[in-house]
Chains A and B, each alone.
Chain A
Amino acid sequence: MATSRRGINLLGLARWLFLAFLLAFTALPMVWMFSTSIKTEFAAIQQPPVWIPAEPTFDQYTTLLSPANPTGRQFLGYLKNSVWVSTATTILGVLIAVPAAYAFSRFSFPGREPLFFSVLVRNMFPVVVFLIPLFILMKFFGLVDTHLSLILTYLTFGLPLSIWLLKGFYDNIPPELERAARIDGATRFQAFWKIILPLSTPGLVATAIYAFIQGWNEYVYARTFINSQNLMTMPVGLEKFFTEYASNWPGLMAASFIMSVPVVVLFLVLQRHFVRALTEGAVKH
């Protein structure tokens, strides 16, 4: 008994140490990002490094976020483009994924299984394989240097996981519910709209967050498809900022921080749904 107690305690201690290490590993880079962003350029390169600057300044943030100066105007432009592209991708993605997932879950048309797996297999393909032909395709349709090229491409990143997650949700909703509604005189669409959709809200929220974050963070296609400065999204804008002001680390960190805040906050608020959706949808399945 005594040994097993000590065994448990040792295990418990190891667990706390491990968690402390993980927390430091994940959080410190972000803390350092913020800490640097509120230093002056001179303070940022002082050694030994200081976590809490003696004279914090928010100059970098005011520069980046005020439309009064060229840097700020540029940066706000990137921000606006990212919001637009990510939002459009998210809305379109949900609109397309919901009926597809529903059909894969409920109907038994010929070719259902192969089609479902062909959708999933998208996850397996290297991004670069599509980059070259898509670039040529977009050029052919005159879509290079438009937001539409990005929205179309991002759609396909999100769709497989969205469909997979949502299908798992629909599988878990007993069809008897719809059948009961149909008997009571509801159309197939009404049954879906009034019964199924509300029950699958966590799945919808999860797939929407996923699509939004993907669009917000995507870099390779944004870099390749967009040439005009006024159409660039945040990740590419950040790279541009880095190459232009290479030694301004506080500025770069402030820009990175502003870029990270929306998705981190969005995700932290809604991550419960996300984990639940994975549990209900993907994994249980």
Chain B
Amino acid sequence: MAIAEAPALAGRREPVAIPARETLGHRITRHWADYLYVLPALLVMLIVIGYPLIYTVWLSFHATPPRTGEWVFNGTQNYQDILSGPRFWRVTMNTIYWTVGSTLFAFILGLGAALALHNPFRGRGVVRALLLIPWVVSAVAAAYVWRWILHSDYGLVTGMLKSWGVIDRPLILLDSKSYVMPTLIAVNVWKEFPFVMVMLTAGLQTVPEGLLRAARIDGASTWNQFWHVTVPHLRGVILITTLLLFVINLNSFTLVWLMTGGGPANASQLWITEIYNIAFRSLQFGMASAFSVILFIIMLALGYFYVKALTANAPRREG
């Protein structure tokens, strides 16, 4: 990478001999053809992302009664209603529980899988491939198969535990206010730990083998090799993976929506499912937009760290 990049940069800059005081306008016109390459991508992103974003913010300051269809500016009323709503803090706590719990356990399991599969053995490729399956399976199919497995009367879990004599009455998980969140998190971890595994597997391959060997020769224990050589090398990947995971979880809708619909009694209601209900069940687009904007601001803060992590990661590798 470094070898390829250094002469390229030098080669590109020297012959052109940019005058010291070239204006931005000149530079843009000189590079006009370059923009053609990125234009299609930018157009799609602008239409499908730029416009909706601005529109959401605009909508969030309006009352949008579904019956009349007349949208009236109402200032920050929507925001006040949300923040003082009876369910807001309940849903917020659920969202934090869901996001942190899923991220943490998916990360631990994914890291464990990546490490356990790092040293080659016969059949490693097959094992790795099999472990990736949940990640590829549609969340809709996953939601239904897990609903079936966890079915309180005919489910696999109840049936097995009963036949082993562990329980004597149906095990109620998804319909129980106290068990629903841990159960959903377990299913979610099943679905997304392979993502962590893939990212960290890729990361592990960049750890120089020589460095580990040197540490081994110097008598470092397995733990010390891991902690002092592997982990520092993986810092960038770990950061990006956990951030992405965090965002994915904050955004995830399908599993919860199809497994519990936020129930029982809102015990598994998340921001996302709540927003969806407000928008497409109650048809209060203004209110739902305000809620989206709050979520968006949180994402923006996370996005800032994400970009920082990406940029901080890049130059260090160059050297």
Q: Which residues of A contact B (CB under 8 A)?
A: 7-8, 11, 15, 18-19, 22-23, 25-27, 29-30, 32-33, 36, 44-45, 47-49, 95-97, 99-100, 102-104, 107-111, 115, 117-134, 136-137, 152-153, 155-156, 159, 163, 171-176, 179, 213, 216-217, 219-220, 224, 234-235, 238-239, 242, 249, 252-253, 256-257, 259-260, 263-264, 267-268, 271-272, 274-275, 278-279, 282-285
Most buried by B among A8, A108, A163: A108
Bound Cα distance from A226 to B12, whole angstroms: 50
Give the B interface residue count (CB, 8 A).
105
Of residues 120 through 143 on chain B, the ones whose CB sits less than 8 Å from some CB of chain A are 125, 127-134, 136-142
Q: Known pairs A48-B160, A125-B49, A282-B202. 8 more at Cβ < 8 A?
A: A23-B130, A96-B41, A124-B303, A130-B53, A132-B289, A172-B4, A219-B253, A284-B1
**Given A103-B34, A110-B31, A133-B55, A36-B40 contact (CB < 8 Å):** no
- Chain B residues within an 8 Å CB radius of A22: 109, 112-113, 116, 131
- Chain A residues within an 8 Å CB radius of B247: 123-124
| Contacting pair A175 B137 (CB below 8 A) | no
30 pairs, A vs B, C-beta closer than 8 Å? A19-B116, A23-B130, A29-B134, A45-B153, A49-B160, A95-B40, A100-B42, A102-B37, A104-B38, A109-B31, A110-B24, A115-B38, A127-B272, A129-B52, A132-B288, A132-B292, A133-B56, A133-B59, A134-B52, A152-B44, A156-B44, A156-B48, A159-B45, A176-B8, A219-B258, A224-B280, A238-B138, A238-B140, A264-B133, A285-B314
Interface SS majority for chain B: helix
User: Does B87 reach chain A (CB closer than 8 Å)?
Assistant: no
| Contacting pair A174 B4 (CB below 8 A) | yes
| Contacting pair A283 B42 (CB below 8 A) | no
User: Does B104 reach chain A (CB closer than 8 Å)?
Assistant: no
Bound Cα distance from A29 to B194, whole angstroms: 15
Nearest CB in chain A: distance from B65 CB, A = 15
| Contacting pair B5 A11 (CB below 8 A) | no
Q: Which residue of A lies closest to B289 (CB)?
A: A132
User: Does B7 reach chain A (CB closer than 8 Å)?
Assistant: yes
| Contacting pair B41 A159 (CB below 8 A) | yes
Q: Which residue of A lies closest to B58 (CB)?
A: A133
Which among A44, A156, A171, A272 is the interface contact of B45 at CB below 8 angstroms? Answer: A156
Most buried by A among B1, B144, B296: B144
Which among B144, B280, B289, B293 is the interface contact of A238 at CB below 8 angstroms? Answer: B144
Which among B109, B146, B190, B296 is the interface contact of A125 at CB below 8 angstroms? Answer: B296
Q: Please, what's the 1-or-0 string for B281-299, where 1 marks a CB less than 8 Å from any CB in chain A? A: 0000100110011011001
| Contacting pair B300 A175 (CB below 8 A) | no
Which among B37, B160, B194 is the interface contact of A107 at CB below 8 angstroms? Answer: B37
Which among A27, A108, A235, A257 is the interface contact of B140 at CB below 8 angstroms? Answer: A235
User: Does B171 reach chain A (CB closer than 8 Å)?
Assistant: no
Nearest CB in chain A: distance from B123 CB, A = 10
